[in-house]
């Protein structure tokens, strides 16, 4: 394996002086795809399949949201503000062509924000086990009682959430192995099986995600619960959704509703798979993205 094709940690300077950290996978000469990580993790949570990326002629750019990894804390984080950060990142890397974008879990909402806010910069979108935006009024009636309760707690008791994320950041920093094992024991079978298989990868990604004393995770949660700041219907690029029928984090019941709002976007609904399905279906996911980019 060439050293240039190993995951490369990079930083770029944003227009307001902040630092944005990211990880690049693959050859910088190949077609770029921006990956938005899930909640409480980072851009280091991707499989480094250099042969697959070379075959598809893709590179992956996985930025850490503010407060994660090497990215500066940015307390007024919103979906639109991070979409603008990603465009500034692309400009700093001298990437002018439209990119693919994908997002896992809440990262799917960030992928939609990029496509809706900067349609000329996005050629295709893939949503992986995506969540709905908690702060959008139209979405509220589609939420389960559990998610309605979590939304209420996040907005009503921010100090408690801040304290919780601070405590978790210390656990990830001091006892990463014990912490990942604790999370695995609390997961449903579909998630526990895959997390145990990719234990070290997900452990290290979470350690970076909870950097800066968990500040970024808290700000990400607050952004998720606030008004969306863009219209889902403004996404013009082709969209594909992947979701597991056994998803124990975000059930598949309202994924058809999201697909309908995206113009009837096709959905891959996978039996017996959970929230971590992107790790088990990475080749097929990237192959589909390469096809979408080739069509564009």
The pTM of this model reads: 0.96
pLDDT of 2 higher than 70? no
Residue whose C-alpha is closest to residue 262's, from 117, 125, 97: 125
Q: Which two tokens stand for residue 34?
A: 């921006």
CATH assignment at residue 104 = 3.40.50.1820
Longest dimension (CA), the chain: 50
Banded pLDDT at 265 (limits 50, 70, 90): very high
Contact criterion met (CB below 8 Å) for 21 and 69: yes
Supply the range of the domain harboring residue 37.
3-295
As a dihedral over the C-alpha atoms of residue 20, residue 23, residue 27, residue 31, rounded to 10 degrees, the angle is -60
H or E element that contains 31 = strand 31-36
63-118 pLDDT, tens per residue?
999 999 999 999 899 999 999 999 999 999 999 999 999 999 999 999 999 999 99
Based on the structure, what is the number of domains in the chain? Answer: 1
Per-residue pLDDT tens digits for 134-160: 999 889 989 999 999 999 999 999 999
Q: 3 pLDDT exceeds 70?
A: no
């Amino acid at each position: 394996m060439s050293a240039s094709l190993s995951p490369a940690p990079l930083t770029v300077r944003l227009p307001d002086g902040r630092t944005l950290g990211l990880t690049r996978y693959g050859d910088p000469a190949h077609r770029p795809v921006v990956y938005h990580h899930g909640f409480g993790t980072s851009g280091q949570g991707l499989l480094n399949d250099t042969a697959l990326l070379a075959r598809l002629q893709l590179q992956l750019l996985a930025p850490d949201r503010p407060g994660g990894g090497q990215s500066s804390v940015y307390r007024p984080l919103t979906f639109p503000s991070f979409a603008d950060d990603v465009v500034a990142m692309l400009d700093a890397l001298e990437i002018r062509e439209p990119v693919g974008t994908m997002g896992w879990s809440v990262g799917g909402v960030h992928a939609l924000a990029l496509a809706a806010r900067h349609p000329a910069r996005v050629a295709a979108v893939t949503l992986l086990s995506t969540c709905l935006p908690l702060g959008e009024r139209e979405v509220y009636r589609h939420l389960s009682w559990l998610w309605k309760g979590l939304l209420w707690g996040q907005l009503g008791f921010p100090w408690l959430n801040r304290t919780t994320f601070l405590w978790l950041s210390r656990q990830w920093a001091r006892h990463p192995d014990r912490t990942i094992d604790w999370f695995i024991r609390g997961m449903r079978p579909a998630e526990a099986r895959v997390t145990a298989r990719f234990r070290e990868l997900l452990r290290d990604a979470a350690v970076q995600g909870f950097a800066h004393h968990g500040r970024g995770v808290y700000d990400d949660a607050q952004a998720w619960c606030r008004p969306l700041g863009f219209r889902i219907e403004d996404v013009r690029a082709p969209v594909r959704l992947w979701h597991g029928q056994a998803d124990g984090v975000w059930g598949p019941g309202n994924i058809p509703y999201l697909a309908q709002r995206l113009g009837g976007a096709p959905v891959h609904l996978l039996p017996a798979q959970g929230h971590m399905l992107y790790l088990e279906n990475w080749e097929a996911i990237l192959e589909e993205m390469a096809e979408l980019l080739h069509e564009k």
